[in-house]
Amino acid sequence: MHAFRSHTCAELTSADVGSTVRLSGWVHRVRDHGGILFIDLRDHYGITQVLCDPDSPVFDEVEKLRAEWCIRIDGEVKARDPELINPKIPTGEIEVFIRDMEVLGRAAELPLQVFGDQEYPEETRLRYRYLDLRREAMQTNMKLRSDVVASMRRRMWDIGFREFQTPIITASSPEGARDFLVPSRLHPGKFYALPQAPQQFKQLIMVSGFDRYFQIAPCFRDEDPRADRSPTDFYQLDMEMSFVTQQDVFDTIQPVIEGIFEEFGNGAKVDRHWPQISYKDAALWYGTDKPDLRNPIKMQDVSEHFRGSGFKIFASLLEQEGTQIRAIPAQGGGSRKFCDRMNAFAQKEGLPGMGYIFWREGENGVEAAGPLAKNIGSERTEAIRRQLGLGKGDAAFFLGGRPSAFEAVAAKARNVIGEELGLTEKNRFAFAWVVDFPMYEKDEETGAIDFSHNPFSMPQGGLEALEGDPLEVLGWQYDLACNGYEILSGAIRNHRLDIMFKAFSLAGYDEDEVRRRFGGMVNAFQYGAPPHGGCAAGIDRIVMLLADTANIREVIMFPMNQRAEDLMMSAPSDPSPEQLMELGLRVIPQE
């Protein structure tokens, strides 16, 4: 017999009754039923109930077992009494009577219990992650992640892509986040960077004549942590194609993403129609470039109804350039209690409040109510109701000012309204392509122009488009949103040097600096660069959606905490004086 097991803890069935078997695993739970000890023995595959009574030669040793001890048992498979069968597990028809046992690894007092679903502080879970990972939910999540990655690979190979690896140690590149720098021992005073993405390399692969590339790529960004983003590293399904348009990329990647969600979505509806929404419209309708389309609410600009109206706050706001009044229609939200609750929500978000109108049955049919309705009059409220397509029992909420100042709150309010009124459809994955991103943005404090998205994207209209106002230039850039999260980003790349130099010059980079910072790509583009484009899908975020969790750390095996610390491995750590000397570095103490 094998040294540790003849079967896993999920294999034995009634067909094995009478067999002598060997199992190894962890003590999941011990129950003492009047001198008979029942143990749930767990391994990666499942659970088998094993038992021992005083007739067993190892009863005294079994009595000493505690939760999470790692053991090997030899025993005889027996059928459970019919009334004791457990249909919830594959081994529920049998149990194993212990004849021999060996303790393979004792466990100290546990800082967290593996059995059960108790909640523990995140600090405890991350410090003892190896114990946290033994829990059923975490085992399920990690298996899901592994299966998703394997499925992605198969699907990409099936449509003609080849997987190539790109360097992990490279040069710094402006990708929109901070680099992790790595000091060079052989070149004192110089630094490598961990790649924020394989962006330049995958473009160079296209220049090298490889038509379809993909990679399960690790990416490193020194970012502030959020619930849906790792603060240090993440993985993406990275892909690039030559001789393609934006629509070609969409048509190629949609079946892959769609198939993943259908395969692992637990029967949830997966939308097959993926609308293409401009960045401008996404901001107007949803207040965000990653809209949750399960929620049918679309915001609308209702500025004209308040211009010169009796509601002086909005009327005076609209006299300022660049301001707008936006309405959030709320079907079924027409009660003062609900309206007051949403007004309180806005105040918690740091706004003075949120104006509202609700419609109810009146003497002459549907009538408007609320402070706003009294201030602007029946004619204007009726025009608003008709524009928004609302009726009796409905409401509308209003936010005003510069859209950049209120859109984030408007987006949250839209989500809250959709949830509370039951408008947001559950058990569904709704996708949307967000397209036509602006190439540039202006720093409100300095007035400087910089790239707003990927700097290597092709501007729509080519060189001619760069001759006018930079803030009007749109890029062939796109994101894919699913249920309120961005899960993919990409672009058609800028493969022409004349357009690239001009594009970077508008963001303050002269030709010499572009050649210095991106010399490899600039040199390569002199030798027949093909038109190309691609995208990258965030694996962590996709698995997070499939696992139905809102925290990305639930689907990463060894994540950092909110402060970008690895509590289990004590990282980051202090370097030794010898290491610093070898690298020619000195740490300046922080005051």
- For 434-483, write each residue's pLDDT tens digit: 999 999 998 878 889 999 888 899 999 999 999 999 999 999 999 999 99
Residue 343's pLDDT is 87
pLDDT grade for 15, boundaries at 50, 70 and 90: very high
Query: What does the alpha-carbon distance between residue 393 and residue 414 come to, in Å, rounded to a whole number?
Result: 18
DSSP assignment, residue 493? B
For the chain, what is the total number of helices (H) and then of strands (E)? Answer: 19, 24
Buried b (16+ CB within 10 A) or exposed e, 514-539: beebbeebbebbeeebebbbbbbbbb
Q: Phi and psi for 23 in degrees, rounded to 5? A: -125, 150
Query: What is the tens place of the pLDDT at every residue in 555-567?
Result: 999 999 989 999 9
Residue 3's pLDDT is 95
Query: What is the tens place of the pLDDT at every residue in 328-339?
Result: 999 999 998 999
**Nearest partner of 506 among 459, 458, 454, 450, judged by Cα:** 450
Q: Where are the alpha helices (DSSP H) in 311-460?
A: 312-317, 336-348, 371-376, 378-388, 403-420
For residues 271 and 431, the answer to whether their CB atoms sit within 8 Å is yes
**Nearest partner of 71 among 95, 107, 35, judged by Cα:** 107
Query: What does the alpha-carbon distance between residue 81 and residue 94 come to, in Å, rounded to a whole number?
Result: 9
Residue 174's pLDDT is 60
Considering the chain, what percentage of its residues have pLDDT values greater than 90? 86
Residue 261's pLDDT is 98
Residue 210 CB neighbours (<10 A): 15
Residue partners of 511: CB distance under 8 A and separation at least 6: 501, 504, 505
**Over 80: is that where the pLDDT of 220 sits?**
yes
Q: Mean pLDDT in the chain?
A: 94
Residue 515's pLDDT is 92
Radius of gyration of the chain (CA): 30
Q: Which residues pair with 367 in a beta bridge?
A: 360
Compute CA 271 distance to the chain's CA centroid, rounded to the nearest angstrom. 19
**Nearest partner of 492 among 451, 513, 447, 462, judged by Cα:** 462
For residues 452 and 436, the answer to whether their CB atoms sit within 8 Å is no
Query: What does the alpha-carbon distance between residue 62 and residue 142 come to, in Å, rounded to a whole number?
Result: 31
Sheet of 355-362, strands arranged across: 300-301, 324-330, 395-401, 355-362, 365-369
**pLDDT mean over 568-588:** 93
pLDDT grade for 176, boundaries at 50, 70 and 90: low
Q: Phi and psi for 411 in degrees, rounded to 5? A: -65, -45
pTM of the entire predicted model: 0.93
SS (H, E, C) 225-275: CECCECCCEEEEEEEEEECCCHHHHHHHHHHHHHHHHHHHCCCCEECCCCC
For residues 297 and 330, the answer to whether their CB atoms sit within 8 Å is yes
Residue partners of 512: CB distance under 8 A and separation at least 6: none
Residue 157 CB neighbours (<10 A): 12
Determine which helix (DSSP H) or strand (DSSP E) holds 465, and give its type and residue range: helix 462-465
**Over 90: is that where the pLDDT of 34 sits?**
no
Alpha-carbon torsion angle 135, 141, 143, 148, nearest 10? 180
pLDDT grade for 213, boundaries at 50, 70 and 90: very high
For residues 181 and 172, the answer to whether their CB atoms sit within 8 Å is yes
Domains and CATH numbers, the chain: 14-105 (2.40.50.140), 139-276+432-556 (3.30.930.10), 295-424 (3.30.1360.30)
Query: What is the tens place of the pLDDT at every residue in 230-254?
Result: 889 999 999 999 999 999 999 999 9
Query: What does the alpha-carbon distance between residue 401 and residue 382 come to, in Å, rounded to a whole number?
Result: 23
For residues 266 and 558, the answer to whether their CB atoms sit within 8 Å is no
**Over 70: is that where the pLDDT of 586 sits?**
yes
Query: What does the alpha-carbon distance between residue 421 and residue 562 come to, in Å, rounded to a whole number?
Result: 33
**57, 306, 311, 382, 403 from 324: Cα distances, Å:** 82, 10, 14, 20, 7
Alpha-carbon torsion angle 496, 501, 503, 505, nearest 10? 180
Query: What is the tens place of the pLDDT at every residue in 342-376?
Result: 988 988 988 888 899 999 987 777 899 988 998 99
Query: What does the alpha-carbon distance between residue 21 and residue 16 come to, in Å, rounded to a whole number?
Result: 9
Query: What is the tens place of the pLDDT at every residue in 518-533?
Result: 899 999 999 999 999 9
Q: Is the peptide bond before 111 cis (omega within 30 degrees of 0)?
A: no
Q: Parallel, antiparallel, or unpaired: how do β-strands 431-435 and 276-278 relate?
A: parallel
Buried b (16+ CB within 10 A) or exposed e, 362-381: eeeebbbbbebbebbeeebb
For residues 540 and 230, the answer to whether their CB atoms sit within 8 Å is yes
Query: What is the tens place of the pLDDT at every residue in 189-210?
Result: 999 999 999 999 999 999 999 9
For residues 66 and 107, the answer to whether their CB atoms sit within 8 Å is yes
**Over 70: is that where the pLDDT of 175 sits?**
no
**pLDDT mean over 105-110:** 97
Residue 305 CB neighbours (<10 A): 21
Residue 171's pLDDT is 87
Q: Which residues pair with 442 in a beta bridge?
A: 449
For residues 526 and 194, the answer to whether their CB atoms sit within 8 Å is no
